Structure 1
Amino acid sequence: MIDEEKNKDGMLWYQLKRAVPTGLFCKNHPDTELNRFTHPASTNYDPLIHGELTSDGLQLSSMAFCKKCDLEGVYQRKQQSSAERRANEDFLNKSKYGKYSLLKTQSLVGKKSLWFARFNTFKVNGLEEQNVLNQAQRIAREYTQGQRFNTVFVGGAGRGKSHLAMAILQEVNENLKDDKFSTLFINISELI
C-alpha cells in the first residue's frame, strides 16, 4: 500500500520524487522554484511532440509547475474556458433566481403530484398528523434560519413522508431564493 503522507507544502511524497527543478521561479510566488514532473514515456513517444527524456528513460512534462499555484487552483481555472467560467458566475452570482430553479429542473420526483405538495395541502386527520405537520413546519423554519442538520422520515406507506419532505423543500427553496440557495428532491427508486 502506498503511503500518501504529505510534506509541509501539501505535496505527496511520490509527487516530490517525480519533481525535477527547472532553475526558474514563479511570477506569482518569486520564492518558489518551478518544477517539471517525470512520468513513464508514452508508447508512441516522439521527442518533437512529447518533450525530452531523462537519463533514466522517463518523460518530462512539457510545462513547468509552481506548487503554490497548484494548491491555489490556478491551473484548474486556466483549463476551464473563460466563456464557461463567465456563464457559471453569471448564473450563480448575478441571477437572483440562479439556483432557485434547480428544484424544478434537477429533482427526480416519482409521482408528479408531489409538485403540488405544500403544508396547506397536507391532510390532517387527527392529533398525530397535526403534530407531524407542526414538526415539519418547524424543520423548514430552522433550515431557512441557516441551521444545518439531517432530517429522516420514518413510517409506513401512504403516511405523507414524501409530501412533507417536498413541502419542506418548497418552503425552504422559496424563502432562500434571494440568498441564492436551492433545494433538491431525489426519489431513490428514480435515481437507481
Structure 2
Amino acid sequence: MEKITMPQKLLKNMTFHSDVCEKHTYIQNGQEIVKPIQMMVIKGEVLCPRCEAEKTEQQLQEKMQSEFDLSMQQQKYNTLYNKSILQDKTLLDATLENFKAEQSEERENKQTVIESVNRFKNGQVFNVVLQGNQGAGKSHLAYATLQELNGQDTSCLFVNVESMLRLIKDTFSNKQSKYTENYFVELMSEVDYLVLDDIGAETGAIGTDKTATDFVQRVLYAITTTRQDKSTIITTNLSSETLFKMYDKKLVSRMFRNPKFIVFKETKDKRMNNIPF
C-alpha cells in the first residue's frame, strides 16, 4: 500500500471520518486498487489527507518556482553591472540626465538617443552607431542607453572591445582565466542589448593604415553574426571609410545592419576643456 506522507502540522488534532475521497485510490505493486482513501477531520474540517498533502506540495513547488524566476530576473538585471568590461569606470554613473548637452549637435544627438531608447522599448530591433571625435560623449550615451533599458526581463552588456581582446589574448598563456573567446562570444550572443565600445581602437592611433588581425576579425565576426536578430550599439572614432579598410566588408556590413547613425562632427573633446596650456 502506498504510503501517504503528511505535513506535521496536519497530523495534529486529526480524527478519521466515515466519508471517503473518490479522487484517490491506493497503488500497490504497480496496480491500482479501488479502495478510496478515508476522509479525516482536520481542524474541524472534513478533508482528504492526500488532497491536503498534494496541495501543500503544489504550494511548495510554486514558491520554489517563484524564487527561481526572481533569481533569474535578478541575474539578468545584474549582467550589466557584474559582467561588463569598461576601461573608464566613471561610465558607471552615466545617465541621460547627467549628459551635458551644451551645443546644438549634442542636444540633437541626445534627443536621437532618447528616441532610439523608446523604439527599443517598443520592441524594434536595429543597431545604433555613435561616431565622432574622442571625448564627445559617445560612450556616455551608449552606457546611459543600457541604463534605461536594463530591467528584470532585459539583459544588457557594455564591452570595451580593446579590453575584451586583451583579456582573450591573456588566456593563451593564463589557463586559469575565464575570459576565453568562447566565454565572450556566448555571453554577448545571449544579452538583449550589447554595446561594442570603441571599435577600431585595438589597432592603434586614429589615422592608422593598419588592418585588423585575423584573430580580431574572427572574434568580432562571431559576435556580430550571433546578434543579427538583436540590437547592438557601437561607438567608434573612425570614419566608415577607415572601418571598411580595417575590417572585412561582411563584418562592417553586420555592424551597420539596419542602422541609426548618430554622428558628432562639431563636438570637441570634453576631457580637454580644463587643460591650461
The alignment's TM-score, normalised by the length of structure 2, stands at 0.34
TM-score by length of 1: 0.49
Structure number with greater CO (CA < 8 Å, separation at least 6) is 2
